Structure 1
């Protein structure tokens, strides 16, 4: 069991890849909220939105309209800042310290946690006595890989979100731990104990890491099962009547959507970047009482008792889905497993690790 530090950090800065004003929530949002609830002064600065990306249509205008222009303190007490720049990072003259000062935010913190390599600049190191790199992904590309090396050279420790992400950093001359993503278990708790309908759901990004062809195949082979794929949609329309594509679903609406299904889907593509993912949806599905079907990776493995069924390629995908549909519903064993992975518990582990630094 983690031992909480006697003097936890009182002022914390997150430098994150994603802002909190869209349909998705990421680990830094949950850590920030949990720390703020314990009285810490938390600032969450995310990847700048550039004019170049807006002009090229790389930023959704509807989503951008929901993003405050300037510092915004939310109901949980976290101060969010989504900078606007002319050029995308790492180009242009953007500096984290300068942006904080421009909005009247603190220039000194107890700890800085950075998970977005593109937010690295020389000013970051001077913002706090403790700098922690929190990689959430594999970065084989040249720009992010170069910046990642610079962060590690300046950091005091590493908190990786999966063993695969941690392994990719070897040799690592810093203290490190693996702290997988958690879940807001209370938010996704099963609504009622009655049996669920024959329905499957996927919630998340519909990018190169998502295997749409596998979902289409499942839908064709199981016409009596309803499939819902929720996420920003710009691809092919549904090819079968039992496949629904509602688009992005607000975060607050996710519990109702998940608890209307029996199985949660994680149909990962063969993109090599999937090897290091610690998908937050795994525990959200389990917390909501769903069985889970996922493509197997070094991070995602079968656990029949908890209702997690994996497959390797298309050969075993149908069998994995059949087993998930036959699993007891709601999946109370899975919900108990998810409850042990709460963000409160993850925050306790994070603070205990920071205390050792």
Structure 2
């Protein structure tokens, strides 16, 4: 009988790229009876993965206090061999199922203790103590679980040093996206670049708006604004002809947009959770054959310089971002070569197929399964 795996999330969208597109589809293809308990209007099945609906209601209290009770009932009814949880507020529930003999995995997408000092809704004097308590809490519970799947080497190393069975499974793009229909020829592409993803001050939107003016380029910006009020600022800039603001667009629309432009920007501010992260969009730009303009963090610089796929800049300096944009747009041969080198690096190293093997090996080890 196939082992039953349940992925549980209280905050992510139903078809989240990491949870569904990468991890769950990989597990289902490998023969696991794969389920997701997540916020969705109704249950359904897709690509061999069975979705089970959690109620969707606004508010942090509901998500952190009430929703876990509903999640507990849903998971208990499914009686999984493996429970794979995706938020820290689900760790008490994870501990309960581990006590019941379920193999429980915690998927650490971000380094939460390093984020807390930047949470504006927490009073400043409390952020340091709360961060230490959260790290103690996470480490303590995770030592009682089967293991941790971490999104970056930094997070995996943190848990490993705390005595946790941890492995890094990075958010690299699917090789299937390299087989997408060819984009416009380089000469036919619009002389512009894009930022695609969650839009926020911390992710450099103000510097992008300034860089667009300095470089005299209409940067394409697509994604969810956070907070939502930021969307009005972007709409105004769009109406003035300073940028092209797309708002939130579908995955297919993202791919279509990348096929028509000449570069991708990921200039996050140097916050702890950014410096040690491996942003999805960096590798998605690379997979699409776009040269990258990225923050000069050591980890990012190592990836970009090793691949020769872009330019690293100080994310706090709009003029540096603008100069990088102008270089890419004014040096066609070099920009195209950067894009090709980035795509080759994804094909050889930075792809989900390599990470899928790591995930499956981790599951086999936990379940004591033969290869």
- Normalising TM by the smaller chain, what interval? 0.7 to 0.9
Q: 2:114 matched to 1:123?
A: no
Partner of 2:120: none
When structure 1 is superposed on structure 2, of 279-288 and 201-210 the one drifting more is 201-210
Partner of 2:345: 337
SS in 2 for 1:228: strand
Q: How many residues align?
A: 323
Contact 1:44 1:79 in 2 (8 A): yes
- In the TM superposition, 1:230-269 aligns within 5 A as 230-233=222-225, 234-235=229-230, 236-237=233-234, 238-239=236-237, 241-269=241-269
Contact 1:112 1:132 in 2 (8 A): yes
SS in 2 for 1:283: helix
Partner of 2:321: 317
SS in 1 for 2:161: coil
Deviation at 1:176, TM superposition (A): 2.3
SS in 2 for 1:260: coil
Q: 2:211 matched to 1:218?
A: yes
Deviation at 1:129, TM superposition (A): 4.2
Structure 1 distance, partners of 2:100, 2:309, is: 44
- In the TM superposition, 1:286-305 aligns within 5 A as 286-301=286-301, 302-303=304-305, 305=307
Contact 1:265 1:292 in 2 (8 A): yes
- In the TM superposition, 1:1-357 aligns within 5 A as 10-16=3-9, 18-21=11-14, 25-27=17-19, 29-46=21-38, 67-69=40-42, 71-73=43-45, 75-84=46-55, 87-92=61-66, 94-95=68-69, 96-101=71-76, 106-109=78-81, 111-120=82-91, 121=93, 122-126=95-99, 129-140=102-113, 141=116, 142=130, 145=135, 147-169=137-159, 171-187=161-177, 189=180, 191-192=182-183, 194-195=185-186, 196-223=189-216, 225-233=217-225, 234-235=229-230, 236-237=233-234, 238-239=236-237, 241-301=241-301, 302-303=304-305, 305-312=307-314, 313-314=316-317, 316-325=320-329, 326=331, 327-329=334-336, 331-340=339-348, 341-357=350-366
Contact 1:18 1:26 in 2 (8 A): no
Residues 271-320 of structure 1, C-alpha deviations (whole Å, 9 max, x = no match):
33212322111111111111111112343123274413212341643343
Structure 2 distance, partners of 1:93, 1:305, is: 43
Deviation at 1:174, TM superposition (A): 2.3
Structure 1 distance, partners of 2:358, 2:364, is: 10
Structure 2 distance, partners of 1:124, 1:257, is: 44
Deviation at 1:348, TM superposition (A): 0.9
Residues 79-124 of structure 1, C-alpha deviations (whole Å, 9 max, x = no match):
22341277423323733331235xxx52122x22223111221433
Contact 1:197 1:262 in 2 (8 A): yes
| Structure 1 unaligned regions, length at least 5 | 1-6, 49-66
Superposition RMSD in Å: 2.9
Partner of 1:52: none
Give the ranges of 4+ consecutive aligned residues of structure 1 lying more than 6 Å apart after TM superposition: none
**Structure number having the greater helix percentage:** 2
Structure 1 distance, partners of 2:136, 2:201, is: 23
- Normalising by the residue count of structure 2, what TM-score does the alignment of the two structures yield? 0.76
Partner of 1:54: none
Deviation at 1:247, TM superposition (A): 0.5
Residues 241-282 of structure 1, C-alpha deviations (whole Å, 9 max, x = no match):
241111100122221111111111112124332123221111
Structure 1 distance, partners of 2:32, 2:245, is: 40
SS in 2 for 1:174: coil
